Amino acid sequence: MQFLIERFPLYLDGAWVTVQITLGGSALAFVLAMAFGILGTIKHWLPRAVATVYVEVFRGIAAMVLIFWMAYVLPDLTGYRLDRTFAAILAVGLNVGAYGAEVVRAAINAVPKTQVEATVALNLSWFQRMRLVVLPQAWAQMLPTFGNLVIELMKATAVVYLIGVVDLTAIARQVRDATGETVIAYMGALLIYFLIAQVLIFGMRLLERRANRKLGRTPPGGTGLGALLRHPVVPGAGGGVSG
């Protein structure tokens, strides 16, 4: 314990880098997921094709391979060198964004057709329909899966030490190499990853609760704050609220 406490500032530096890449990557993934997910729901073939290409390309490439591309191949090809941390954000964002786009597309398609018909009857434009009716309802559907993706993304950042970014995993390695204490060095990383994950999960459940409340549903698992710590019981499937 003493061992870890002495090196706590070191671990904290690494954790901060991990958090930065996680948040940056999540923000990028979110924007990409929304953009390509919405494109994927448009009737015209062209936007749909664009969405499919993005999803299939970046879903198919391992995050680690993407990271190497961003860090080593791209500079070779273009002569332009990206900041390593930024390259890492780009790689995990592009990768997770592809999964997210599928989540967004599915959630939008799951909004009942009758809701869309009501927007036609009120003569809303496509843009108004999306903004006022479809996305707010799809949002509650997306969140549980987004929560999983954020955790996945956070864990995927552990490979960025391979391109020389000093994240939490890199620190654990350094500590191990310097002291030979493998178990304790990695125990420190494990604990901090776990803590970060718990904070992310808590945040996502807050968002979920808010989204469900806006749809007039009781949050799954009860209303107390304590409910946020429990694993939710089957999150409100489908949009069957209007019946």
Among 121, 183, 234, 237, which residue sits at the site for other proteins (rule: CB under 8 A)? 121
Q: What x-and-dash track marks residues 60-99 binding other proteins by CB under 8 A?
A: ----------------------------------------
Binding span for other proteins by CB under 8 A among 7-15, 65-73, 113-121, 186-194: 113-121
Contact between 47 and other proteins per CB under 8 A: no
Q: What x-and-dash track marks residues 130-159 binding other proteins by CB under 8 A?
A: --xx--xx----------------------
Phi, psi of 139 (to 5 degrees): -50, -50
Candidates 6, 18, 11; CA nearest to 174 is 11
Among 20, 115, 145, 174, which residue sits at the site for other proteins (rule: CB under 8 A)? 115
91 residue type, one letter:
A
Q: Coil, strand or helix: which one is 49? A: helix
Q: How far is the CB of 230 from other proteins (least distance, A)?
A: 24
Helix, strand, coil percent content, the chain, rounded in steps of 5: 80, 0, 20
Among 20, 102, 217, 227, which residue sits at the site for other proteins (rule: CB under 8 A)? 217
User: In residues, how long is the chain?
Assistant: 243
CB 138 within 8 A of CB 184: no
222 DSSP 8-state letter = -
CB 211 within 8 A of CB 235: no
Binding footprint of other proteins on the chain (CB under 8 A): 114-115, 117-118, 120-125, 128, 132-133, 136-137, 214-217, 239, 241-243
